[in-house]
Every structure is written in C-alpha cells, then in structure tokens.
C-alpha cells in the first residue's frame, strides 16, 4: 500500500526529518515485518512469489518514471516499496492473474501525481488503488482477509513495531484514535446483530487492518490539518465503516458488494479525500 505511517511509507508520505534517519525507513521496516510474519505464518504471498515481484517492480518503475516527469529526478524508491508490497499483500486475484498486481501498483503511484489539488495529492495511494480494483474488477480481484487473533505474540510484535513507527512519524494519535473508535462502533454493532463483542473486534487483528491503521488513516500527506479536525474525520470514517458493516449484517448490502469486502478502506475512500479537498479549498479561498 503506498504510505503513512502507511503511506508515511507508502507514498513517501512522511516528510523526512532534517537530521537523522529518514522516517520512511521505519515505515518500510514495519511493512517488512508484516510481510515476513504474514508469509511465515499464513503464506499471504502464496508459494509463488511472481505476484509479489510483479507488484513491487511495477510500483518502482512507475514511481521512477512519473517522479522524473514531475521533477526531473528519479526520486526515492521507499514510497514505491511500500506501495508495491502493500498491493502484493492485500490484492488476491482470481487464479493466476498477474494484471491486478500491475494495475494496482500503477494506480497507487499514479494517484499521487494525477488526483491532486493545490499541489497535494488527495488520496492515500494504496487505499485508492485497492478500492478502484474492487470497484472496477470485483469478479477478478478480492482482498486478503486473514485474521491473526490466534497468535497474541505475533500481534504484539507487529503492534510494538507499528506504534514505534507512528510515534516517530508523530501520527500515533491517529492510529490509537481509530482503534478506540473501531472498538466503540464494534460495541454499537452488537446491539444490532446480536454478535459478541469479540467477534466484532476480530477484524482488527488481520493484516488489512494493521496496514489500514498504521499506513492509511495516518497518512500525513492526505489527512486534514489540526487535531480537532483530524479526530472529526476519524469519527466520520469509523461511523461510515460501522454503517457499511451494519448494512451487510442486515442484508441491505449484498455479500458480494465491494463495500462489504473492505469496509474500512471504502469508508476512508468515501470520507477522507472529499474532506481533505474541502479543507484545502477553504484554505486557498481564505488566502
């Protein structure tokens, strides 16, 4: 997926500090941990690494080409590393299809250079890419749905590294804030569907949610400015996810509806970019 602490990493989303180690290296380290642990325990990349190499290679090539066209320089591969690996982890094509890895990585990188306003890109690259694939090719593409709740030690390792990364990137309040909101709305859903709270909390243990909370919803390049405004946007994203899940539980949405396949990603897709654009537009108008 391409940056934050997600695209902190993924899009080059975190600005590099003037001194010391580039914060994107920490994000790349977290993604590598998730990638290694997921492959070791669940073979999330499969037995054949062709898809992973295809996604990573497509992201790097696209980043180099468009960064050069945009700035005259090749740019850093760290952003592409995050985007390509995130796509490889999350995208699960039907059969042996490889084009979803290519299209997913290309869309992630292109979104940074095309979907812009006032010199800023509006969408978290990986979030945009995954949602676009699920909307445009629902019959050919699905998304990783493993949950890692049966291995507390593994989750502890990932969350320890993840919290260090988002703390370093100064976006830890976004990760923790969304986690609290998710838990609250999980309880709200139990009032509608009769499920246990543990069942409703289970998705947060999966790699999709870890990538979402550490890399996407925390993306400093695509989140509104101001703590109050940020928490307001987080609340609306979490509320939107809750409504999508309730819609699926009550069968208002069909089980094959793309929104039901990745509720948090579509919630961010629907809410995040429009509100970010609105803030940028208001700031530009005021100036």
Q: What is the pLDDT of residue 52?
A: 92
DSSP codes, 205-238? GSHHHHHIIIIITT-TTTSPSSHHHHHHHHHHHH
> Residue length, the chain?
287
Q: Residue 208 region, left (φ>0) first, then alpha (ψ -120 to 50), else beta?
A: alpha
Domain 6-286 has CATH 3.30.110: no
pLDDT the model gives residue 12: 43
The per-residue DSSP string of 72-117 comes to SS---SHHHHHHHHHHHHHEEESTT--HHHHHHHHHHHHHHHHSEE
Question: Which string of b and e fits 160-178 if b means at least 16 CB within 10 Å?
Answer: ebbbebbebbebbebbebb
- What pTM was estimated for this model as a whole? 0.86
Q: 């292109």: which residue's tokens?
A: 110
Place of tokens 């947060």: 204
Domain layout of the chain by residue ranges:
6-286
Q: What is the pLDDT of residue 264?
A: 95
Q: Which of 22, 206, 36, 214 minimizes the C-alpha distance to 126?
A: 214
In the prediction, which pLDDT does 245 show?
94
Cα torsion at 55, 121, 26, 44 (round to 10°)? -30
One pLDDT digit (tens) per residue for the chain, 287 residues: 544 444 444 444 444 444 556 666 777 788 888 888 778 877 888 778 899 999 999 999 999 999 999 888 877 788 899 899 999 989 999 888 999 999 999 999 999 999 999 889 999 999 999 999 999 998 899 888 766 655 677 777 778 888 888 888 888 999 999 999 999 999 999 998 889 999 999 888 877 888 899 889 988 889 999 999 999 999 999 999 999 999 999 889 988 889 999 999 999 999 999 999 999 999 999 98
First CA to last CA distance, the chain: 34
Please give the DSSP secondary-structure letter assigned to residue 16.
Answer: P
**According to the model, what pLDDT value does residue 21 have?**
61
């Amino acid at each position: 997926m391409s940056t934050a602490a997600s695209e902190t990493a993924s899009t080059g989303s975190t600005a590099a500090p003037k001194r010391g180690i580039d914060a994107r290296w920490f994000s790349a380290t977290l993604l590598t941990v998730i990638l290694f642990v997921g492959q070791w325990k669940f073979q999330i990349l499969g037995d054949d690494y062709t898809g992973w190499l295809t996604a990573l290679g497509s992201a790097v090539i696209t980043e180099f080409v468009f960064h050069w066209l945009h700035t005259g320089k090749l740019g850093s591969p760290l952003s592409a590393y995050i985007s390509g690996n995130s796509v490889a982890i999350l995208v699960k094509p039907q059969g042996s299809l490889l084009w979803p890895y290519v299209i997913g990585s290309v869309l992630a990188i292109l979104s940074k250079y095309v979907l812009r306003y006032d010199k800023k890109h509006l969408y978290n690259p990986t979030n945009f890419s995954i949602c676009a694939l699920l909307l445009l090719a629902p019959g050919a593409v699905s998304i990783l749905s493993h949950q890692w709740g049966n291995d507390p030690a593994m989750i502890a390792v990932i969350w320890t590294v993840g919290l260090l990364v988002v703390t370093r990137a100064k976006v830890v309040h976004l990760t923790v804030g969304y986690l609290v909101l998710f838990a609250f709305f999980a309880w709200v859903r139990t009032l509608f569907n009769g499920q246990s709270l543990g069942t409703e909390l289970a998705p947060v243990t999966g790699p999709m949610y870890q990538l979402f909370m550490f890399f996407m919803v925390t993306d400093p390049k695509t989140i509104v400015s101001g703590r109050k405004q940020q928490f307001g946007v987080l609340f609306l994203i979490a509320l939107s996810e809750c409504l999508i899940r309730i819609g699926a539980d009550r069968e208002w949405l069909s089980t094959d509806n793309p929104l039901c396949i990745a509720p948090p990603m579509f919630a961010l897709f629907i809410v995040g970019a429009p509100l970010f654009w609105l803030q940028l537009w208001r700031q530009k108008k005021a100036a």
